A and B are shown apart, each in its own frame.
Chain A
Amino acid sequence: MTKKTSDVSRRSFVKGSAAATAAGIAAPSIFVPHATAAGAFRNDPGSSKTVTLGFNVPQSGPYADEGADELRAFRLAVKHLNGEGDGGMMQTMQPMNLKGNGILGKKVEYVTGDTQTKSDAARASAKRMIEKDGVIMFSGGSSSGVAIAVQSLAQEMGTVFMAGLTHSNDTTGKDRRRYGFRHFFNAHMSGAALAPVLEAEYGRDRQVYHLTADYTWGWSQEQSITEATAGSGWQTVNAVKTPVGAGDFSQYITPILNSGADVLVLNHYGKDMVNSLTQAIQFGLRDKQVNGKDFQIVVPLFSRLMAQGAGENIKGILGSTAWNWKLQDEGSKAFVKAFGQEYGFPPSQAAHTCYVQTLLYADACERAGTFNPEQVIRALEDHTFDGMGNGETLYRGEDHQCFKDVLVVRGNQNPSSQFDLLEVQDVVPRAKVEYSADLYPGELGPYKV
């Protein structure tokens, strides 16, 4: 095989061949060459009057409802960016550089796609947006596996990805990428936020039984909770891996009954969490007394859609969440009002993070004065903002993780409506969940691709 001696020659070879194509094959006009001239970047809107964003969410598969809510938030964000409606969080965002005339004076348009919550489908859909629809940024997602897969694509293609719902430490840890940004919180923060509340509520020295979804997110969640609660003298009795999509968890639940554990942590998400929680409660775990203490169940990551699926069973269960519509800060109120007026019900945390991500990206473009991703990324890195529902927030440059307040919530005992499923137990300040970027080492990669 040919061995290249320098990077320069390889690059020029590629350029040369691109020129050869232009001469040899009549390349269709939609394949405008990119990244050839200095300062040029993929899908530069140039003199066009519009700019296109891509919203890549699960529309089929188990997270379709969550995807639908994300899509509502995206549509709302586009409306607000284009100066329609009441502007939502654009009224409270600090600092705020958006003018309500689109982004950099270009009207915002959007395309949508279906990730099916599968990495391959999500990447295919994202590629369609980038290659065919010419999006300058894309966003969305409902699982960490998909987010990580799509994020590495963003890096390859040189198109910014503003992640939606993804909770794994890996997204901004070992799999972090220069072109990927996460506003949502992660498993580490869940653990850090929950630990003090758990100790206050359930006391020290508890015996913990983990049921953990048998894949990367589940493992990292289990690890984060174990580490965070170790200081309270919580010990792991057993940690059992359960197959994803097991459906009936009874065979994993019965061994807990006589294991001597007095706390059950369910490191499950989505349907698995709905099923395991429902069944754990059926087995009477919450009515048990073990070691002289009331048996407790903890679900470290909550979402409202999961709470709906679990119904009655969620009542009184503690967990963490990124945001809740009942927060009383100005930003949250403005967003809930705009969303509620548009759709007739309050937004979920997935909708919140997607909305905020879109606004943050647009704001960064305004601050950078260009759509060039290199500058936009630099504008986002280490940017501090406020008024978006989670207090003062930092987009940390080293790993592209947002640091903000985390909510500890409890399943509402007496919900006043079908949306009032979670009550905010505690707002854990950002300082308590912060960690060093080296804790989960990874490489962001280059600005220019």
Chain B
Amino acid sequence: MDAILLQILNGLDKGGAYALIALGLTLIFGTLGVVNFAHGALFMLGAFCAVSLNKMMTASVKVKDESVTFFEAFKEVPYLELWLGETGTTLISWSVPLSILLAIPVMLFIGLAMERGLIRHFYRRPHADQILVTFGLAIVLQEIVKASFGANPHPQAVPEMFSGTANVGALFGLGDNIVYPIWRLVYFFFSMSIIGMVFAFLQFTTFGMVVRAGMADRETVQLLGINITKRFSIVFGLAAVVSGLAGLMYTPILPPDYHIGMDFLVLSFVVVVVGGMGSLPGAVLAGFLLGILQSFASMNEVKSVLPGIDQIIIYLIAMVVLLVRPRGLLGRKGVMED
């Protein structure tokens, strides 16, 4: 029982990440009708916002390393520690949450630049062309990051107060066996609140209303004389921020490297298809569902019956859903069917 509860927690946590990525992807697809293969790269860029801020905060003086005697070696002492002592160290440990402040403008800018500079010219081109040009862009972005940060993962620490584990079981009176890392809980609540904000934004603002109307029927809204295109480029920026934040907050869980976006790319498409192309609630639902099912498929009890099931569960679900209910869980019929 405890094992199952823990796996549900795992699934919720993983699902939070999947849902956030799929949410951004669906926003872009639903509004602009663009299949964005560079979406994983946005996740990766978000993660590297955290890495960059950490690097900036640990900008260091080189102090001669006396422990190395055979050659001139230096060790690095961050200025912040040099100037502020303990406070500096604490400040550095907060670099991941702090980088949210950096990531929002940066990702917004990247999103807008991407839409204005490239994606815009592909609205009328076939989906295959969109896939290909964004795929090319993803390769380029990832190679640039690799050239600047190397291929190795960059571990990110979490602030003292969020490190360690929480006794979740005790909170709900379920015994002491259900402990869970605090940061993962933070991630889950973070993803829930981002999802909530995006939905609230679309539901309760005029801007959001127009966007939703545009998602449902682009031509009609344009006939009303509303400049959809301009709003849609902002939506692209918004989607970039959402995926960027998803990546950024994930860095303490998964030390990011240049390839982290590609690792999530296929998966995020599967999530979107399972949820239904263009359906925001579908993307969220599918994200959590796939996260939980993936966790269950990895349990020893399941694997002993179906060896290797954890390797293919995601694809298996995608296949079954596509064959049985091609529009996805909550999708509209006929989206991109031809």
A–B direct contact (CB < 8 Å):
yes
Q: Is A233 an interface residue (CB 8 A)?
A: no
In the bound complex, do residue A238 and residue B10 qualify as a contact, i.e. CB atoms below 8 Å apart?
A: no
Q: How far is the CA of A229 from the CA of B144 in the complex (A)?
A: 45
Stretch among A75-83, A306-314, A401-409 lining the B interface: A306-314
Partner of A65, one of B72, B150, B294: B150
Q: How far is the CA of A276 from the CA of B3 in the complex (A)?
A: 19
In the bound complex, do residue B73 and residue A247 qualify as a contact, i.e. CB atoms below 8 Å apart?
A: no
Stretch among A56-64, A197-205, A316-324, A383-391 lining the B interface: A56-64
Q: How far is the CA of A416 from the CA of B312 in the complex (A)?
A: 44
Q: How far is the CA of A284 from the CA of B184 in the complex (A)?
A: 12
Q: Is B86 an interface residue (CB 8 A)?
A: no
Q: Is A50 an interface residue (CB 8 A)?
A: no
In the bound complex, do residue A416 and residue B65 qualify as a contact, i.e. CB atoms below 8 Å apart?
A: yes
In the bound complex, do residue A243 and residue B311 qualify as a contact, i.e. CB atoms below 8 Å apart?
A: yes
Query: Nearest chain A CB to B146's CB is how many angstroms away?
Result: 7
Query: Nearest chain A CB to B207's CB is how many angstroms away?
Result: 35
| B residues in contact with A255, CB < 8 Å | 3, 6, 299-300
Give A166-191 as 1s and 0s: 1 = Cβ < 8 Å from B's Cβ atoms.
00000000000000000000000000
Give A338-369 as 1s and 0s: 1 = Cβ < 8 Å from B's Cβ atoms.
00110011100000000000000000000000
Q: How far is the CA of A60 from the CA of B259 in the complex (A)?
A: 10
Size category of the B interface is: 35 or more
In the bound complex, do residue B153 and residue A284 qualify as a contact, i.e. CB atoms below 8 Å apart?
A: no
Q: Is A254 an interface residue (CB 8 A)?
A: yes
Query: Nearest chain A CB to B96's CB is how many angstroms away?
Result: 13
In the bound complex, do residue B73 and residue A251 qualify as a contact, i.e. CB atoms below 8 Å apart?
A: no
Identify the closest chain B residue to A67 (Cβ).
B151
In the bound complex, do residue B155 and residue A238 qualify as a contact, i.e. CB atoms below 8 Å apart?
A: no
| B residues in contact with A119, CB < 8 Å | none
Q: How far is the CA of A189 from the CA of B218 in the complex (A)?
A: 65
Partner of A346, one of B73, B157, B183: B73
In the bound complex, do residue A341 and residue B298 qualify as a contact, i.e. CB atoms below 8 Å apart?
A: no
| A residues in contact with B295, CB < 8 Å | 250-251
In the bound complex, do residue B2 and residue A248 qualify as a contact, i.e. CB atoms below 8 Å apart?
A: no
**Which residues, 60 to 92 on A, are CB-close (under 8 Å) to B?**
60-65
Query: Nearest chain A CB to B262's CB is how many angstroms away?
Result: 10
In the bound complex, do residue B75 and residue A417 qualify as a contact, i.e. CB atoms below 8 Å apart?
A: yes
**Which residues, 2 to 25 on A, are CB-close (under 8 Å) to B?**
none
| A residues in contact with B6, CB < 8 Å | 254-255, 257
Give A406-427 as 1s and 0s: 1 = Cβ < 8 Å from B's Cβ atoms.
0000000000111110000000
Given contacts A238-B300, A251-B294, A312-B155, contact A337 B65 (CB under 8 A): no
In the bound complex, do residue A275 and residue B73 qualify as a contact, i.e. CB atoms below 8 Å apart?
A: no
Q: Is B217 an interface residue (CB 8 A)?
A: no
Given contacts A282-B181, A283-B165, A345-B73, contact A340 B68 (CB under 8 A): yes
Identify the closest chain A residue to B299 (Cβ).
A255
Q: How far is the CA of A340 from the CA of B72 in the complex (A)?
A: 8
Q: Is B13 an interface residue (CB 8 A)?
A: yes
Given contacts A305-B152, A340-B70, A416-B65, contact A64 B13 (CB under 8 A): no
Interface size of A by Cβ–Cβ distance < 8 Å?
50
Q: Is A214 an interface residue (CB 8 A)?
A: yes
In the bound complex, do residue B255 and residue A417 qualify as a contact, i.e. CB atoms below 8 Å apart?
A: no
Given contacts A312-B157, A340-B68, contact A418 B75 (CB under 8 A): yes
**Which residues, 133 to 187 on B, are CB-close (under 8 Å) to A?**
146, 150-157, 164-165, 177, 179-181, 183-184
Partner of B255, one of A64, A245, A311, A345: A311
In the bound complex, do residue B298 and residue A61 qualify as a contact, i.e. CB atoms below 8 Å apart?
A: no
Q: Is A240 an interface residue (CB 8 A)?
A: yes
| B residues in contact with A29, CB < 8 Å | none
Q: Is A435 an interface residue (CB 8 A)?
A: no
| B residues in contact with A313, CB < 8 Å | 155
Q: Is B129 an interface residue (CB 8 A)?
A: no
Identify the closest chain B residue to A415 (Cβ).
B75
Q: Is A278 an interface residue (CB 8 A)?
A: yes
Given contacts A278-B255, A309-B153, A311-B255, contact A250 B10 (CB under 8 A): yes
Identify the closest chain B residue to A274 (Cβ).
B153
| B residues in contact with A287, CB < 8 Å | 164-165
Partner of B263, one of A247, A274, A279, A282: A247
In the bound complex, do residue B153 and residue A417 qualify as a contact, i.e. CB atoms below 8 Å apart?
A: no
| B residues in contact with A243, CB < 8 Å | 310-311
Identify the closest chain A residue to B3 (Cβ).
A255
Give B262-279 as 1s and 0s: 1 = Cβ < 8 Å from A's Cβ atoms.
010000000000000000
Q: Is B7 an interface residue (CB 8 A)?
A: yes
Query: Nearest chain B CB to A53's CB is how many angstroms away?
Result: 24
In the bound complex, do residue B253 and residue A248 qualify as a contact, i.e. CB atoms below 8 Å apart?
A: yes
Q: Is B219 an interface residue (CB 8 A)?
A: no
| A residues in contact with B183, CB < 8 Å | 282
Q: Is A336 an interface residue (CB 8 A)?
A: yes
In the bound complex, do residue A257 and residue B179 qualify as a contact, i.e. CB atoms below 8 Å apart?
A: yes
In the bound complex, do residue B177 and residue A309 qualify as a contact, i.e. CB atoms below 8 Å apart?
A: no
In the bound complex, do residue B150 and residue A282 qualify as a contact, i.e. CB atoms below 8 Å apart?
A: no
| B residues in contact with A252, CB < 8 Å | 298
Q: How far is the CA of A432 from the CA of B48 in the complex (A)?
A: 45
**Which residues, 1 to 25 on B, are CB-close (under 8 Å) to A?**
2-3, 6-7, 9-11, 13-14, 17
In the bound complex, do residue B151 and residue A65 qualify as a contact, i.e. CB atoms below 8 Å apart?
A: yes
Seed contacts A274-B255, A284-B164, A311-B157; 7 additional CB < 8 Å A-B pairs: A243-B311, A247-B263, A248-B253, A254-B9, A283-B179, A416-B67, A417-B68
Chain A interface residues toward B at CB < 8 A? 60-65, 214, 238, 240-241, 243, 245, 247-248, 250-252, 254-255, 257-258, 271, 274-275, 278-279, 282-284, 287, 305, 308-313, 333, 336-337, 340-341, 344-346, 416-420
Please list 28 pairs of residues, one from A and one from B, whose beta carbons are closer than 8 Å in the complex, sorted by A's number. Answer: A60-B151, A214-B308, A241-B303, A248-B14, A248-B17, A250-B13, A250-B184, A251-B7, A251-B299, A254-B10, A255-B299, A271-B153, A274-B153, A275-B254, A278-B155, A283-B181, A284-B179, A287-B165, A308-B152, A309-B153, A309-B257, A311-B157, A312-B155, A341-B72, A344-B73, A417-B65, A417-B75, A420-B67
